[in-house]
Structure 1
Amino acid sequence: MHRVTHPTLAPLAAALLLASASTLAADAGERKFIRKGMGEGEVVLKIGQPDHEALLRAVRGQPEEKTWTYFPNARDPQTLTIVRFHAGRVAEVERKIAR
């Protein structure tokens, strides 16, 4: 194992380690376990960044509403997963068979 000793490389090494850990944590097979009330960060940690994001409502002083869409994946074949957020929390999860 190689040690990072240069002071400017240490933060870079730490950032790369965290990025690779979160990539490993995201698993498309976990999409079916997303539930109402989960926060955006928890969703990203479990299943990764969405394939598509759409803003439904962004009015100053009111809770933001948006959807995240996850396309079918080898770990979740033929299933389109749409997660609707209200004020940063999962409000609804829709899973559709996509052919």
Structure 2
Amino acid sequence: MPIIKVLVAAALSVASSFALAIDARDRGFISLGMAEGEVLFKIGKPDHEAFIQDVKGRPEEKTWTYFPHSRDPQTLTIITLRAGVVANIERKIAR
């Protein structure tokens, strides 16, 4: 019985580290023109969200910031969305 628990714990650990690796790698595959929902699906919710323009009757403009990830510890990713579509992508080295 204890061996099964150890094996399950090891399998969960491997699966979670694999999920972290996919998340960090997928940030580099976000492209201009991609829909907001697709970005959320591929890399998840941002660590920080800021509105640049939120005026009634005009397209919403905002930035999503993804802080450095354990699998990519020096890269800060900033995505600008205009009317729900990726308009700009910045990947900066953060020290």
Q: Structure 1: any 5+ residue segments left out of the alignment?
A: 1-22
Output the TM-score relative to the length of structure 2: 0.75
Output the TM-score relative to the length of structure 1: 0.72
2:74 corresponds to which of 75, 78, 83 = 78
1:50 aligns with 2:46: yes
1:27 counterpart residue number: 23
Between the aligned residues of both structures, percent identity stands at 66
Runs of 4+, deviation exceeding 2 Å = none
Q: Structure 2: any 5+ residue segments left out of the alignment?
A: 1-18
Q: How large is the RMSD of aligned CA atoms in angstroms?
A: 1.6
Q: Deviation digits for residues 17-44 of structure 1, max 9, x if unmatched? A: xxxxxx88x7122101110001111001
Name the structure with the higher helix share: 2
1:87 corresponds to which of 83, 88, 95 = 83
Aligned residues: 76
Alpha-carbon offset, residue 71 of structure 1: 0.3
Q: Deviation digits for residues 66-86 of structure 1, max 9, x if unmatched? A: 000000001222000000000
Secondary structure at the counterpart of residue 46 of structure 1? helix
1:68 counterpart residue number: 64
